[in-house]
Structure 1
C-alpha cells in the first residue's frame, strides 16, 4: 500500500474521532441545562439565636446558647448537581414533588418565606402565653400561601388572599376550614368569603381529589391550597426576630426558647450549647420538620451538647427516629432529646445541672 493510500485511510478515522469528540462535548454541555425533578438535602449550619432575637426589656447572657439548625436545600438543576449529591456524605436526594408538593420553585420559595414569618409569630405567642405576659390576638381568617397548578382553586385564589368565611360561617377560629375540608367529599361545593385583591368576594369551589403528599398515605379531597392562620398579635413587649434569608417553619421551638430565656429570670441554657429543631404552634405543641438527620450533623459539628427534636407521636412521624439513628451513625457525644411540647423542653432544661468549666 502506498503512502498516499495510508493517508487516505487515516483521514476518515480522524474525522470520526473529531465528530465523536464534538458530540460528546455537546452532550456534556446539554447535560448542564437539563433540569431534574429532584432536590438535594445536606447539613446546613447551627446558628446562635441570641444575635437574631431582640426582646424589649429582655436580657442576654454570654454563657451557653440556643442554636437553630438549618438544612441546605438545593434544586438539582442538572445531572452534575444530581451526581454531586449522590456521592457526597450526608447528602440526600429527594423527588421534587415530595419536597414542594407539586409547586413551582418560586411558589415553594414563597411558601417557605411565609412559613418563617408564621414561625416568628407563633414563637412570640407561645412564649408570651407561657410567661403569662399580656398579649391579644386578632384572627382575620386564613391566608392563602400558595395554589397548586391544576387544582380547583387555581385561577380563582391567589397567594395573599384571605379566606374570612366558609359555608357562611366566620373563620374567627381558623381551624374551622380544616375541619370542613377534613370531613368533605370529592365534588362537594364549598362556599368561601374571600378578601381578594382588596375586595370581599363570594366564591363557590368544588372539592377535587388531590394527590398524596409527604406524610400522607392516601389521596384526599381538597381545594389545592396551602393555608395558614392570618393573625395580628398585640403586646406591649416588642419582639423582633432577624432570620435573614433563612426560610421555613422548623426553627419555631428554638425561637420560642430564646424569647423565654431573654424574658425570664435566670439562664435556661445552664451554660450549655443547646441546638434543636421543630415547628411551634401557638398552643405550645412541637411539630415535625424536614431534614432531622442533616440537622443532627450540623448541631454536632457546632459543638452542641444537646439537640431537641420533635417526638414521633403519629403514624408516619420519623423525626426522632432519624435523629437518633444519625447521632449513633456519626458517633457524636451530643444527646438527642425528643419533645412533644414546649413544656417538655423547658422541663428538661430545668433538670440540667449548671455547666461547670
Structure 2
C-alpha cells in the first residue's frame, strides 16, 4: 500500500512540475541577456579594422510560466509585464515577432544611413513595398488583412510609402468605403472595407492596421548587417557606431570594449529603450569598459540615470556615458586616450 501511495505521489509531483513548466501565464518575463561583439555581425566591404570592440546588448524575454513568474518576484533584475504592456491591441505572438523583426530591419537601415552620412559616403534607398505590421481586433481590416501582407493599392492608387497610405486613410470619415488591394503568398487580392472608429479612440477612424515601408539601403561601399532573430529598434546606436568605425581610418574603439543601447533616427538622435538595467548587467558580465545610455535630454527618469543607479548597485567599474545624439558618442570616443 505504501509503495502504491509513493508511486501515486511521485506521478502527481511530476505532473505538477510539467504543468508549472509548460503552462504559460498572461505575462512576459525579461532578464539580462548577452553583450556580443558587433564585428562578426557587421561588415563594410574593405572596411578598416579595430583594436577594441563595439558590443550589442540584449534582453532575454519570454512568456512566463509558474517558475519564472515566481522567480521574477524575488529577483531584482527580472521583470514582469502584462501582455497588453508588450503586445499591441489585437496582436498575437506571430504578429508581435514580425513587428519586432521589421523594427530591427528599419533600425539597421537608419543606422547605416546615419553612419554613411557622417562619413560623407553615398547611399540611396530602394523601396520594396508597404507591409502590414499588425491588425487591431474588432476593426474593419481584422478579418481581411494580417501581419506580413503587402499593400499594393488603395482605391486603385499604387502604394509606395506607408506615409502615403496613412495620409489617404486619415482624410476619410466614418462610414467611407475604400478598396484595398493586397498581396499574400504571391497572390493578389482585393477587398472593400468600411472605415470605423477605433475602440479606444472614438474620434479617430481607420481600418485598424499598422503599416511600414519595407526598403533596402544601397551603399558605396556595400555593408552587411546580420541580426539573425534579434528584434526591436534598440541596437540602432551601436550599429551606427560599428559601421562608421569601419568607414573611417581612425579607430574609435582605441582598444576598449564599448557596449551601449538606444534607438536612432535619421537625424542621429538617440532614443530611450526598455530593459536598460538588464543591458547594463549584460555588458558588465561581458567585461565592457564603457556603456552608452540614452540621456533623454536630462529627463528625471532617463535611461542614463537608471543605468548609473544599476551600475552602482552591481559594483561595476564600467563607465556609464550619457548620449543624446550619435555625435555625442563619436565625440566622447574621439577624446579617449
TM-score by length of 1: 0.78
1:353 corresponds in structure 2 to: 336
Partner Cα separation in structure 2 for residue 190 and residue 297 of structure 1:
52
**Mapping for residues 290-309 of structure 1, pairs under 5 Å:** 290-309=274-293
Cα gap change, 1:220 to 1:100, in 2 (>3 Å): farther
Is the contact between residue 271 and residue 296 of structure 2 (CA under 8 Å) also seen in structure 1? no
Hey, what does 2:47 align to over in structure 1? 58
Match of 1:237 in 2: 221
Task: Check if 1:261 corresponds to 2:250.
Answer: no
* Closer/same/farther in 2, CA of residues 190 and 42 from structure 1, 3 Å limit: farther
- Give the structure 2 partner of residue 96 of structure 1: 83
Point out where structure 1 has 5 or more consecutive residues left out of the alignment: 1-10, 213-217
How many Å separate the matches in 1 of 2:36 and 2:161? Answer: 35
**Aligned equivalents of 2:312, 2:197: Cα separation in 1:** 44
Shift of 1:96: 1.7
SS in 2 for 1:101: coil
Alpha-carbon shift at residue 149 of structure 1 (Å): 3.6
CA RMSD of aligned residues (A): 3.6
Does the 8 A contact of 1:50 with 1:60 survive in 2?
A: no
**Structure of greater Rg:** 1
Residue 70 (1) aligns with residue 58 (2) = yes
- 1:39 aligns with 28
SS of the residue aligned with 2:122? coil
How far, CA to CA, are the matches of 2:330 and 2:135 in structure 1?
Answer: 37
Q: In the alignment, which residue of structure 1 is the partner of 2:310?
A: 326
- What TM-score results when the alignment is normalised by the length of structure 2? 0.82
1:77-88 matched pairs, under 5 angstroms: 78-88=65-75
Q: 1:272 to 1:223 in 2, by over 3 A?
A: farther
User: C-alpha distance in 2, partners of 1:322/1:224?
Assistant: 35
Partner of 1:49: 38
How many Å separate the matches in 2 of 1:55 and 1:48? 15
Q: 1:245 to 1:145 in 2, by over 3 A?
A: same
Q: CA deviation at 1:87?
A: 2.4
**Displacement after TM superposition at 1:39 (Å):** 1.0
Q: Is the 8 A contact 1:312 1:321 kept in 2?
A: no
Q: How many residues align?
A: 332
Q: Secondary structure in 2 aligned to 1:234?
A: strand
**Local SS of the residue matching 2:258:** strand
